Amino acid sequence: MDIRVLQYFLAVAREESITKAAETLHMTQPPLTRQMKELENEVGKQLLIRGSKKVTLTEDGMLLRKRAEEIIELVDKTKSELAASDEIISGDIYMGSGETEAVSMIAKAAKNLQEKYPMIRYHIYSGDAERITERLDKGIIDFGLLVEPFDISKYDYVRLPVKDTWGVLMRKDSPLAEKEYITPEDLLEKPLIISHQTIKSEEMAAWFGQDIGKLNVAATYDLIYNASRFVKMGFGYVIGLDKLINTGGESELCFRPLYPVLEAGLCIVWKKHQVFSKAAERFLEEMQAELAMG
């Protein structure tokens, strides 16, 4: 399967038109049509539904689009690593991270490294542990900053000397805002806004003392910033980690920790036997030195 043909296929998927895709690729329509037919013959599946007004993807086409994007991203990453000079440390570092204040530790290591090697570039992907480890396993990213619990047995890792605190984000005029801590009983009848990852958490279910699915889960979220907009409108209460949303000053929101206290450990992980680029090697060394200093 030719990389160039995959790029053609992605152009067609993006433009939803072979004619428009041909224009963006600076080629004529007939050769592009032929390439798409040859690609379908090669994979043995219909990938495109050619309508009168636009081209859409079949289910197999959508799968190939996802895989093609990953393949091209990995090819670009590899080219960047190989192009790095032996004398001047440069290149790209790819990281994935969940939402956590601990990203500041990565930022500090990156800042220190920037002073020594200003030609290194950083690419940060946000997502939950499942999405980050998927990218790690495919070699698309070098490192992942993950919020526990998760299975780290198949990764090398360093544990960060900090923990995140679970709690409830709410409006300051909420009755619960008068409390110092929030107990399971405080939330049993309340409309809750819970992240997609947390709703599967055995630790959170144990804290509540019941299956989270039996609670009044009014909404789920990926990014706590978006969830905080719902809280601001009085929609419900977010279960999340501290220090991710500004609750000081004139903010309408406040954060109250859970009781019994529930904390989340944090790890930077990477694939075992990973062959790093020089830039990624230097970053890991800088990160380890930063952690050793406490």
Cα gap 114→122, rounded to integer Å: 10
For residue 155, what is the enclosing H or E element? strand 155-171
For residue 217, what is the enclosing H or E element? strand 217-221
DSSP string for residues in 78-147: HHHHHHS-SSS--EEEEEEE-S-TTHHHHHHHHHHHHHH-TTEEEEEEE--HHHHHHHHHTTS-SEEEEE
Q: Over the stretch 1-43, which tens digit does the pLDDT of each residue have?
A: 789 999 999 999 999 999 999 998 989 999 999 999 999 999 9
Query: For tokens 């993950």, what's the residue?
Result: 146
Q: Using H for helix, E for strand and C for coil, what is the string for 186-211?
A: HHCCCCEEEECCHHHCHHHHHHHCCC
Tokens at 93, concatenated: 């570092």
Range name among 23-27, 192-196, 252-256 with the lowest pLDDT average: 23-27
Cα gap 213→184, rounded to integer Å: 14
Question: Per the confidence metrics, is the pTM higher than 0.85?
Answer: no
Q: Over the stretch 89-144, which tens digit does the pLDDT of each residue have?
A: 888 999 999 999 999 999 999 999 999 899 999 999 998 888 999 999 989 999 99
Q: How far is CA 217 from CA 76, 165, 220, 226, in A?
A: 41, 21, 7, 16
Q: At what angle do helices 3-15 and 59-83 cross, to 10 degrees?
A: 130
85 pLDDT band, cuts 50/70/90, is low
Q: Taking residues 208-224, report their average pLDDT.
A: 94
Alpha carbon 134 to chain centroid distance? 10
291 pLDDT band, cuts 50/70/90, is confident
